[in-house]
Amino acid sequence: MRLSDLSNEQLNKATWIVVALIVITLSAAGGYFAYKNYLTGNIPPLIQKEMDKAKQDIAKDPKNVEARIKLANLYIGENMNSEAKLELEQVLKINKNHIAALTLLGTVYESTGQDNQAVTYYKKAIAVAEKTEFKALNIYLYEAYYRLGSIYLKQKAYDKAIEVLKKDSSLNPMDSDLHYQLGQAYLKKGDADTAILEFSDALKYVPNYAEAYFGLGQAYEKKGDKPKAIEAYQNALKYKSDYEDAKKALEKLK
């Protein structure tokens, strides 16, 4: 799962991590310390080796977009946003419709709090990817939809968030994060019944998803179903014993 404006969300969306190898949301302070690590040679040796290899490949062929994307991913993983941005911009000079570069540039802008710019790049990535023959296999399309939906959710544009996340879910229906985010959008919109369905779907794929149990508890509480709300909050604490929001919600109902 990813980091997002929902701070308790988990961080293990396998397909994205395996292929992209990046952490999406990065703080300014984190960026500073990562850059300091870069200057002082504190980048993990295996990461540094991969960076050096990508740089060598680029030196041999400056139009090697695969090497530039790889290097950008590595930079993002080390919170080196400025360096990543430069590589991604070079890719877009070579191919203005490169889906991975558009999506990753969106994550760079989002990580530095520039959501409007991020939205622009996510939308561009989606527009290009939707026209491709094998869009259902494109994880960058999944990510662009997901991140765009997360920003809309943060902006309280719930209808937009639902529309975008449902498109993502149609491509990637087993992603528990998507169901969790949809649950949040429906809950905040006031549709507790549909929120319950989405949180339940999230738990179907990740049974120990504490945040989804908490969302389920909130939805049941909104419906006035106290016993089910208590059960959901207890399950949230079962899988995350230090979950303060769940503790407070449970204490309020008992």
Which domains does the chain possess? 1-151 (1.25.40.10)
- Taking residues 13-40, what's their average pLDDT? 38
Has residue 40 got a pLDDT over 80? no
The pLDDT tens digits for 62-72 are 999 999 999 99
Has residue 124 got a pLDDT over 90? yes
**CA distances (Å), 57 to each of 60, 62, 66, in order?**
5, 8, 9
Over the range 237-249, which residues count as b (16 or more CB within 10 Å of their CB) and which as e? bebbeebeebeeb
Q: What is the pTM of this model?
A: 0.79
